[in-house]
Amino acid sequence: MRRSGHWGIGALGLLACSAPAREAGFVVDTGRVAVPGSSIYWEASGSGSPVILLHGGNLDRRMWDSEFVALRATHRVIRFDARGYGKSGRIDTTFAAHDDLLAVMDRLSIQRASLVGLSLGGRIAIDFALAHPDRVDRLVLAAPGISGGKWIEEHGDTTWQAAARAAAQNRDSVALALSWLGSAYISTALRDSATAVWVRGVVVDQAPFWMDLIRNGRDLEQEAVPPAAGRLAELRMPILLLVGSDDTPFIRDIARAIQATSPNVRRVDFPGVGHMINLEARDQFQKSVTGFLNGEPR
């Protein structure tokens, strides 16, 4: 998940910005923002109220390819690779992911945005919204993770975890990345053969992240302080909560807590869908998200 490029702790600002690319009449701006110890690669397109797409763990910004195109007709859409993933810099020091999001927004002069996050991205969105509520317009939380708390125990992932441990012992980052394809968090998205091929390619590209985990001996990301669990009532902005019926007990438990505690939640359930909702039920996902971001009634 990590990428090359180490930047000093005090270096903040725009590192590089390539010439804008044009595709189907839209300009895609790209650039890189320095964050303490690393850098964040971003892409932006379209015009209108800002929407930031936050990808799930063990993937990168490309999981939003379809949404990036669909939303830019009515919004300024920004997506970026979280630290250690895709084209962003590698992880060589402790960090907080929601601080990286703040750095991206500040560098792009985005005072306020709607956040769309899935899994890891949902957890980052929640932590950011609690730390900077004045910077968030709306939240779309798809199968979100959460910082802190005690939740339903996970079961059934022992096979992939055993494969991951063996790969880590062999210092085989590609095998470690591929072992995750056996996890309940991604396996349901692999039912479609074309999606499975695409996902496999993106997952392999995150091998440097896994190698950094091996090299560092631990995850250097720091949990939000205080964590989000127990603070969900503070999320007063409009929230769209998207839940797959076949997701893991852990994620469904988090969804129940958000729905029961946050005061302004609209929930949409996806029957027969697992964790990767936008890959497994793309049309329904985009319809729900687009309507919510455009302020359509329930």
- Domain boundaries defined on the chain: 13-155+218-293
| CATH topology assigned to domain 13-155+218-293 | Rossmann fold (3.40.50)
**How much is the pLDDT for 296?**
78
Q: How far apart are CA 270 and CA 21, in angstroms?
A: 35
d(CA 48, CA 203): 32
Residue type, 149: G
Separation of alpha carbons 235 and 146, rounded Å: 13
**10-residue mean pLDDT series, the chain (298 residues):** 27 40 79 97 97 98 98 97 97 97 98 98 98 98 91 67 92 95 94 96 96 90 95 98 96 96 98 98 98 86
pLDDT the model gives residue 14: 35
Degrees (nearest 5) of the Cα angle 263, 67, 179? 90
What pLDDT, on the 0 to 100 scale, is given for residue 3?
32
Task: Give the separation between CA 298 and CA 293, rounded to whole angstroms.
Answer: 12
How far apart CA 224 and CA 97 sit, in angstroms, is 9
pLDDT for res 17:
44
pLDDT at 153: 58
For residue 154, what pLDDT is reported? 58
What pLDDT is stored for residue 23 in this prediction? 64
SS3 category, 37:
coil
